[in-house]
Structure 1
Amino acid sequence: MTIQQFIQEQIFIPRLNHSEVLVVYDPDQRYRDICSSMANEKRVVVDATETSIKSRADAIMALGLLGRKEIEQLLVYVPSSKPIEDEEKQIDPFSLYAECGAVFPDGDSDSYMDLCLQAKPDHTTDIRKAFALDSNPSFAIINNIGDGQSWPNLQAQLGVESTKGIIFALLAPSAIQQAALKETNAWVGEAKELFKDSIGLSLKSRAESWSAIADELWRFMLFSEFAFDLPESLPSDLLDVPRAGDSAQPLVEDICERLRSDRRTQDIYIEQAEAIENDLNLKDSCSHMVDLGERDTFPFEERTFLLQAIDSLNHNDTDKVRLILSRHAQSVWTGKGESQIQWDLLRSALALVEACQDNERLIIEHKNSMEMLIDFYVSQLHEVDRSHREFEQAVSDYDWQDTQGLMKPLQQQVRKQYGRLMEKVQIIFTSHLEQSGWPLASKRANTEVFDQMVAPKLMQSGNKVAYFMVDALRYELGVALAQQLAEDGKVELITALAQLPSITLVGMASLLPGASTDFRLVKTENGFVPYIQEQEVKTVVQRMNLVKKRYGHRFQEGRLEEFVRGRFEIEDDIELLILRSVEIDSHFENHPDTAPTEIINALKRIRVAVHKLKDAGFNEVVIATDHGFFMNTHAAAGDTCSKLQGNWNNVHERCLLGEGDVDNNHYKLSCEKAGIKGDFSTVAGPLSLASYKSGMLYYHGGASLQECVVPVITLQLSAIEQTPVAQASVVLNYKNGAKRITTRLPVIEISLESQDMFSMDSDFEILIEAHNKAGEVVGEAKHGGAVNPATGTIHLKPGDKNQITIKMQLDFEGKFTVKALNPSTMAIFCQINLETDYTV
């Protein structure tokens, strides 16, 4: 390609395509012939060289034609300098066209020499020499540069023509290229000459093997890019390290960027960069530097950028954090699981901070009544809880490797910001609670769910209904679950208000038949017991017997997990199936630090169960929960509330039933006003989100939006399915076929290849898990990024590729299989066998 063709096709035409109007200012009249040759039926070229008056008229006429769509583009050629100041623009008759379109030159990259360097990046040294001899070399001189230059041995053995292609191949040859290089060393002399001419490298190695030459070339290229990117001078102990001159910068940066972005060369890039960083002691030499530029050539630079982002977030500079995240989203270092997990934590922290900031501004608009506050929570505010949960998932994923406490200050600040927002909301909530009572007449009470949403469906004989009683499925999780279930049928998400006090004993009983009219709490020596229709419903057996008394042989029940694992079958004449799930609440109660991960497994089981119910002929599904929960991770050691004096029954350290004094730190209302029927007269609890016991990272039992506003999901099952992945091929790959992992955070590449034209627009949902020989899960896709934090799944379209970090269990070692699964049926799309190469 000639320099004229390059300027026309790569500079002028793209700007015309984008802006429709382009003004070319050219005091040396270098580009006049190029512009004149661009005129055609749909593109008018106005040349102002001969006469200014006629060219003005022609330009005005052409602009009118453009406005009427009679032409597509207008190019105005002006043989004078581009006006810079406003006074100059007022005098210039053609500045109007530049304002409504594009202009050339536009910045330093449009200088003649820079255009020549862009056109011939393989010959930057020769081009700079030509400009040193003549500040305005002709097109002919530029076009002649590179002609006749040949590297016959290198070109023949590597199968590439350009200097750029040869250097790239010598750095990261394919298997065929590497074999050819090892057959003979006839290419070595050419390589030395090419390196010297193109990038200024004089090989010091006297060895003539490819590996020795490649190692020196890698060091030269990567260190040169690092030096080019530094905003300040190199440290004194690095000044003598060989590097390229300024004329080779475009070539060096282009090749290094290609090595990082090409998935086939990323592994060798990481290996070489880590080795060079250690050999040159770059981390210590540059430890005093704050700004290392924009590129993360070496791994220690990525940590510097991470620290900058953390510091910016600590100073509430979210714009800078977003810029850093955007710039490094596709960094080669995210291909390392340990690195990816840090950036995902930062990304989730930013999302939570911004969600808190956005919603804090809106509270004042929704605080005037309990109904307004609940509607705000249901429509928007619950998303802050989702962001907080995803942040805590990211913390859980990263904490085990944060041995130096790098993220601790950030975690504390983000948690405090979430806590401040929710405390504001909580004070509004409890003040309305005292005034309006609970539940609101305008909202569905949890005690009404069965009688109004399940019982009517069973009046029609033969209608098969599944009723899920899920412990601790708070509202934001219900939103996520409803979105996931949409592919299985018609979904409706309904807001319900939990029965107080918001504990499992009360909440599960409130979901039973007859609860809407005859639910009450009976006082005992040790507390209280829930009753419905004079029948005690304290235990699971008692609750299920109540249902069986009403529905007899039409009813069957069991644990959700047992049903998913196929450990019991549904009997033929069953029309009401109750499936019970306690995993979320149980895991939070016993293992709050890692509980966010269990949420994914619980929702995963619900989806699988729904799919099985569809196959079993069930028509409808109703999913309800006893209560929500609050993640109290922001609380400090002393953030507790003192109990009230009096004859109180302490419920889960968040609620008091009975009678006694009240103080300024508590709400207090009659049990009748709080919707609690039975033997107690008064209910009280902390106005804030504090509990009576310190160290509670997770709780329920009290009164808050998170504990008391719950979802009810109804699903009319249909035959809707995602497009069979049989029409597309799922491919898993680890490090180009490697079979051993050396990290507990291996990065797996997953791609989806279409098998027919009809599946091209389909969206496939895929679950990735690592299983041991017994089929037990020993590793899961790390949440965040492409992995949905609520489902643990990823979505791909045919042709998509993604890199997914697998978080292996810390105590696992040995052989395992990574599987790509259908999240609804758990059918295997694809799998690869791997083995650990580390010691537990």
Structure 2
Amino acid sequence: MGIVTDYLRKTIARQIEEHESHIVLWFDPERHYTAFAQSLSLPGVTVARYEGSFFALRHAIDDLLKGDDPPRLLVYVPLAEEDTHDALSELAATAAILKPGQGSTQRNTRLSVVARRALRPVLGDEKADEVARQVEADRLSLADLDQLGSVDGGSAVIKTIFGTTDPQDVALAFLDTERHDEKIIARKAIDELAQLFGRAFGVTWPGNLECSGLRIRLARHLLTVEFLASLTGTPPPELATIRLPTDPEVLEACTALVRAWRLRRDLQSSYVTHAKRVEQELRLDSISFTLAELRNSETFAITEQALQSVVEQALIGQPAEETLDLAQTRITGFWSERCPAIQARWALTHTAGLLLREAARIERELKVTPADPVVLLRAYAEGEQPWCLLDTYQRNLERRWHTFELSDQPASQTLENLVTRARQRYMEVGDLLACTFTRALARSKGALPGLSRQRDTFVSCVRPALAKGKTAYVLVDALRFEMARELQHGLNNEYQSQLTVAVGAVPTITEIGMASLMPGAEGDAHIVPAGEGKVGLQIGNVLLKDRQSRLNWLRKQVNEPLVIAELEEMLPKPSPALDSKLQQARLIVVTSQEIDELAERDNIRLARKVMDDVLVDLARLVRKLREYGCETIIIAADHGYLFGDELDSSMKIDPPGGKTIDLHRRVWIGRGGADSDAYLRFSLASFGLGDDLDIAVPRGLGAFKVSGGARAYFHGGLAPQELAIPVLTLQPAPTGRLTPPDAIQWSLVPGTKKIATRFFSVQITARSNGLFEFHPPRVRIEVRSKGANIAEPVSATYGLVEGTQEIELRTQTNDPKSVEPNTVTMMISGEAGKTATVHLLDAETGRELAKIEKIDITLLAL
């Protein structure tokens, strides 16, 4: 019950108690109190109400009046006294009369009088009189008055409409929706509302505004003020005539309101609508801004895109840490969360900047690092900041670039320039690293003391693990060292892991690399001609020249129950026949040989996708192998690779000639021939792999002239990217979640109602209902259409693991039972139907956590 109705109730009770007849007759011709009278209940008092018939009313009260004990009675009549035509004259003669304008103040029930008396102790005389005047003007009802409690020095009418008189709260409610407009018009509050906003935000309005006009003008004023206040230095000449509020408190009120408007998730749609209109009105797309000016501005999408351009230009000139930090911060900014294409561009920009920074660092460090091949290879593969990060950034850059839609981005020339510059620097520094390393290797005559060999992998890693328990041995084609490092990071919460670098067998081609991972390769092994311009690895008297011969050899060398399967046979689920074998096996060998096949056929776009997909598949495979009871999982590769720009004519060199046994872009194998400054020549005896064969490799990132073959993807040489072989050993860590999956409430919210562009965002939130500490699982998102996953994550507010494409969630600092909201941008790359479903999955178990049942797809055909 509100202040006014409570006061009225007490007044009526007092009149009944104090009047000698204990009867009150209440006339209400304006019907202000109809609802109140309907629900009124007083202890020991009978309430009778006129409901269209005086006969019925009199019949109801006659028995009470004829009784021996005088009743306590309230009779409510929603008419003027004269309109009763003396039907209640006998009752009126003995009762206390309440009605508007009654001579006694306590019996005068005119609503303005009752309001003034009730509110004066709360609001004071001046404010209570103002409220009474608003009642007399028919702008406030009894229900409105009951909402007042206090009006904090503001307008009672405004409070009854918005529930508050705080200018910030009123403005946000008014800007967000038109649902209050009807009340504003009915209570003639538009001028009062304009005055409230004018005082609070330092602006004057023209007269006779309608709600829509005031809303547009208020949004323009607030957004413009916040934008100009966020700019560093003097505003551009085009905006110099716009004046900011001179009062610091008013300026802070404007900027604080706009920041709150952006941050309130329930209000963000209205913010975007108004911001897009205002940026067009200000013609911001025609103004040139500097990085310094826009660094702190988030007001408009168009200036966010302008900031992207100036950041990209700045990174081309100098990949400064503060510029990189800015790009990384903006990935999680307001416009990135609202516009997936903006987030994807920031992520691409940041990756290009990281590549440029890494290239500069390696270039500096190469000048002071000893020219020792062991030191150089360790610098490439070991430590917190190994040089192989350059390759990770380059691979991520190419993946993002090849899935990026430039057509979605205005003024994207700076982005293209940045990507071009990053590619150039990768080739420049990659060439410098390759030249430095191969020269150092030549001086050491191929010796790399202290480093493990690829040929020792089976005997030093697999056999000891097999002696202890069930083991998996995964042989991955072209798993570059940096990729294994990224895979390790993606699995570090689930497994105890060790990643070591092994020196690849030369030449670094599949036939030799895969054979070097077999048992026995550590001993008597030689590279010999294998016919038809090929070479193979001969172990003892057995020539391993292809997959079949290698697997036959493996079966003969392993006495334990053995299963050999291809990666695609293991995912998503092995067949029943294979499942039975996997259950019984002691050693599970899984092979993958897809990257070479695609890249060497020059299907560059698909090859890049498969390179990243293989990490996703390997993460799923590892978890699958754990389900089969593998206590140790060892992942190794046949060789690394170079995958950069297509070679131009200046980078193509003539092979040595002589007797050529085998020839690839990056290696010549044979006897005799000419020497040249363009390549380095080694005897295979230097590497313990032959007696009478030589190899020649380009000094840097060049390639031999070979008919056919790939134009951008190469291996076979002695660059660190080709020679550094990863050996990743994984052992499942003890798991036991403190929060059961069923105790978590998940929410998956699409950024748009339809998938209309290739970039599509989904926001993940969750809350635990458990009693204990909340540890959210790692998750992944799939967008499925026509039975297949058609999308991949390209950026996220936080926690995207690039290699496995999984998302690490974290809890909120101030609410440890809730997940920090995470907006993930997906890139549609597969064949889409007319609709899709979106699935949030537990990355470890594959369990579905949340789902969007149906979302329409309006994309043009892919």
Contact 2:332–2:796, Cα closer than 8 Å, also in 1: no
One-letter amino acid of the structure 2 residue matched with residue 661 of structure 1: A
Asked if 1:704 corresponds to 2:719, the answer is yes
- Alignment partner of 2:433 out of 425, 449, 459: 425
* 8 Å CA contact retained: 1:396, 1:594: no
User: Displacement of 1:804 after TM fit?
Assistant: 1.1
Instruction: Please tell me the root mean square deviation across aligned C-alpha atoms, in Å.
Output: 3.1
Q: Does 1:414 align with 2:426?
A: no
1:506-526 CA deviation, whole Å, 9 max, x = no partner? 211211122222433332243
* Residue 517, structure 1, aligned to residue 523, structure 2: yes
Is the Cα contact below 8 Å between 1:487 and 1:721 reproduced in 2? no
Q: Which residue of 1 aligns with 2:735?
A: 720
Residues 291 and 353 of structure 1: is their aligned pair in 2 closer, same or farther, counting only changes over 3 Å?
closer
Within 5 Å, give how 1:574-613 maps onto structure 2: 574-589=585-600, 590-593=602-605, 595-613=607-625
Q: CA 1:160/1:690 → structure 2, altered by over 3 Å: closer, same or farther?
A: farther
| Alpha-carbon separation, structure 2, partners of 1:182 and 1:792 | 51
Aligned counterpart for 1:558 among listed residues 560, 565, 574: 565
What is the aligned counterpart of 2:843 among 820, 823, 838?
823
Given that 1:501 and 1:651 are in contact with CA atoms closer than 8 Å, whether structure 2 keeps it comes out as: no
Q: CA deviation at 1:406?
A: 3.3
Does the CA-based 8 Å contact 1:496-1:712 persist in structure 2? yes
- Greater shift, 656-665 or 250-259, is seen at 250-259
Question: Given the superposition, is the C-alpha separation of residues 823 and 331 from structure 1 closer, same or farther in structure 2, using an over 3 Å criterion?
Answer: closer
Matched with 2:217 is 216
Look up the match of 1:537.
544
The one-letter code matched in structure 1 to 2:219 is: W
1:745 is aligned to 2:751: no
Q: TM-score, normalised by structure 2?
A: 0.73
Shift of 1:648: 2.6
458, 462, 471: which one pairs with 1:465? 471
**How far off its partner does 1:212 sit?**
4.7
User: What SS does the aligned partner of 2:804 have?
Assistant: coil
Distance in 2 between the 1:750 and 1:796 partners? 9
Of 264, 267, 280 in structure 1, the residue corresponding to residue 266 of structure 2 is: 264
Q: Structure 2 counterpart of 1:170, which letter? A: F
Q: Does 1:369 align with 2:380?
A: no
1:229/1:295 contact within 8 Å kept: yes
Q: CA deviation at 1:530?
A: 3.5
3-state secondary structure, aligned to 2:651 = coil
Mapped to 2, the partners of 1:338 and 1:148 lie a distance apart of: 45
C-alpha spacing 1:182/1:555, structure 2 compared with 1 (3 Å): farther
Q: Deviations over 1:257-314 (max 9, x none)?
A: 2222222222322222122323443323x25888755424222212222222122222
Distance between the aligned counterparts of 2:845 and 2:627, measured in 1? 11
Distance 1:652 1:534 in 2: 26
Greater displacement, 552-561 / 620-629: 552-561
Mapped contact 2:161–2:180 kept (Cα < 8 A): no
Larger mean Cα displacement after TM superposition, 332-341 or 434-443: 434-443
Counterpart Cα distance in 2 of 1:207 and 1:693: 77
Q: Does the 8 A contact of 1:554 with 1:574 survive in 2?
A: yes
1:194-213 equivalence runs, <5 A: 194-203=196-205, 208-209=210-211, 211-213=212-214
State the TM-score, normalized to the length of structure 1.
Answer: 0.75
Mapped to 2, the partners of 1:442 and 1:573 lie a distance apart of 38
- How much has 1:656 moved relative to structure 2? 0.6
Change in CA separation of 1:741 and 1:151 when aligned onto 2, cut-off 3 Å: farther
Verify: 1:339 aligned to 2:357, yes or no: no
SS of structure 2 residue aligned to 1:411:
helix
Contact 1:493 1:711 in 2 (8 A): yes
8 Å CA contact 2:167–2:197 kept in 1: the answer is no
- Matched ranges for 1:370-389 at <5 A: 370-379=373-382, 380-389=386-395
* Equivalent position of 2:120 in the other structure: none
* Separation (CA, whole Å) in 2 of partners of 1:289 and 1:611: 49
Find the partner of 1:647 among 644, 659, 662. 659
State the Cα distance separating 1:567 from its structure 2 match: 3.3
Instruction: Please say which of residues 225-234 and 161-170 is displaced more in the overlay.
Output: 225-234
* Deviation sequence 1:9-35 (CA, Å, 0-9, x none): xxxxxxxxxxxxxxxxxxxxxxxxxxx
Partner residue in 1 for 2:534: 527
C-alpha deviation, 1:627, in angstroms: 0.6
Distance (Å, rounded) in 2 between the aligned partners of 1:500 and 1:822: 41
Structure 1 partner of 2:98: none
Equivalent residues of 1:782, 1:807 under 8 A apart: yes
Check if 1:668 corresponds to 2:689. Answer: no
CA contact (8 A) 1:727 1:759 kept: no
* 1:173-572 alignment runs, 5 A limit: 173=177, 178=180, 181=183, 184=186, 186-203=188-205, 208-209=210-211, 211-229=212-230, 231-232=233-234, 248-284=250-286, 286-287=287-288, 292-293=293-294, 294-316=296-318, 318-319=320-321, 321-322=323-324, 324-325=326-327, 328-335=330-337, 336-379=339-382, 380-398=386-404, 400-401=406-407, 404-438=412-446, 440-458=448-466, 463-523=469-529, 524-551=531-558, 554-568=561-575, 569-571=579-581, 572=583
Aligned position for 2:128: none
Secondary structure, counterpart of 1:161 in structure 2: coil
Q: Distance in 2 between matches of 1:443 and 1:482?
A: 20
Query: How far does the alpha carbon of each residue in 1:318-359 deviate from its partner, in whole angstroms, 9 at most, with x for none?
Result: 155246436745532212111111111221122222222333
- CA distance in structure 2 between the aligned counterparts of 1:574 and 1:329, rounded to whole angstroms: 47
Alignment of 1:791-806 (within 5 A): 791-798=804-811, 799=818, 800-806=820-826
Alignment partner of 2:772: what SS? helix
**From 755, 765, 769, the counterpart of 2:769:** 755
What amino acid sits opposite 1:606 in the alignment? L
Report how far residue 721 of structure 1 moved: 5.1
The structure-2 alpha-carbon separation of the partners of 1:769 and 1:584, relative to structure 1 and needing over 3 Å to count, comes to: farther
Contact 1:448 1:511 in 2 (8 A): yes
CA contact (8 A) 1:370 1:432 kept: yes
Q: Deviations over 1:675-732 (max 9, x none)?
A: 3337x52111111111125973221111111101111122234543555544433321
Amino acid at match of 2:729: T
Please state whether the residue corresponding to 2:511 is helix, strand or coil: helix
1:445-480 deviations in whole A, cap 9, x for unaligned? 2122113322344457xx322110111111112222
Distance 2:481 2:470 in 1: 26
Residues 182 and 155 of structure 1: CA distance in aligned 2, closer, same or farther (over 3 Å): closer
- 1-structure distance, mates of 2:833, 2:281: 32
CA, structure 1 residues 359+166, in 2 after alignment: closer, same or farther (shift >3 Å)? Answer: same
Q: Deviations over 1:157-216 (max 9, x none)?
A: 22233112111111124x9x658758945432321222333334454595634x454233
Cα separation, partners in 2 of 1:641 and 1:825, compared to 1, 3 Å = farther
Matched to 2:719, the amino acid is S
Aligned-pair distance for 1:387?
A: 2.5
Deviates more, 1:739-748 or 1:799-808: 739-748
Write the mapping of 1:55-66 to structure 2, written as runs, cut at 5 A: none
- Aligned with residue 634 of structure 2, among 619, 622, 633: 622
The equivalent residue for 2:699 is 687
Please say if residues 372 and 441 of structure 2, whose CA atoms lie closer than 8 Å, have aligned partners that are also in contact. no
Paired with 2:276 and 2:766, the residues of 1 have a C-alpha distance of: 31
Amino acid in the other structure paired with 1:222:
L
Amino acid at match of 2:829: Q
Query: Secondary structure of the equivalent of 1:830?
Result: strand
Question: Residues 764 and 733 from structure 1, CA distance in 2 versus in 1: closer, same or farther, beyond 3 angstroms?
Answer: same
CA distance in 2, matches of 1:148, 1:609: 64
CA distance in 2, matches of 1:365, 1:667: 23
Q: What SS class does the counterpart of residue 835 from structure 1 fall into?
A: strand
- Amino acid of the structure 1 residue aligned with 2:567: L
Distance 2:683 2:598 in 1: 33
Give the drift of 1:806.
1.1
Tell me whether 1:573 sits opposite 2:584 in the alignment. Answer: yes
Q: Of the candidates 151, 164, 170, which is equivalent to residue 166 of structure 1?
A: 170
Partners of 1:288 and 1:825 in 2: how far apart?
A: 49
Distance, in Å, in 2 between the alignment partners of 1:779 and 1:577 is 31
* 1:43 counterpart residue number: none
Partner of 1:808: 828
